[in-house]
Amino acid sequence: MGKVSDLKVYNDVELLAGWVLDISANFPKQYRYITERLVNTIFDCMDDITLANLREGTERAMFLDAFVVHFTSVKTILRVCTRKRILSVNNEALFLRSSANIGRQIAGWKRAALNQNR
């Protein structure tokens, strides 16, 4: 268990969080609740990675599952924002490319955590 900032997945999510902050600053004020929810949820993802890094085995897998739930919420919020034309299709596509890589990293980490208990 090293420093969380040494984890590639953490750094990738941190970059994505910065991107979310940048794009959400341009959301119309009438969607302030969505903006807050989006920003809070991406930071929840970072918390989940931090907590998973502090645990081992099934406890780690539990926090990685929480990450998947939060990250799915981020994807859903962005998809709704694209449908409402708050977010461009190009921005959503950029996010989806990054999220696929992050998803693979989390899935691999979870497999390793669960195999650790065997």
4-116 architecture in CATH? Up-down Bundle (1.20)
Mean pLDDT, rounded, of the chain: 91
Q: How confident is the model at residue 21 (pLDDT cuts 50, 70, 90)?
A: very high
**pTM listed for this prediction:** 0.90
| Secondary structure (H, E, C), the chain | CCCHHHCHHHHHHHHHHHHHHHHHCCCCHHHHHHHHHHHHHHHHHHHHHHHHHHCCHHHHHHHHHHHHHHHHHHHHHHHHHHHCCCCCHHHHHHHHHHHHHHHHHHHHHHHHHHHHCC
Residue 9 has pLDDT above 90, yes or no: yes
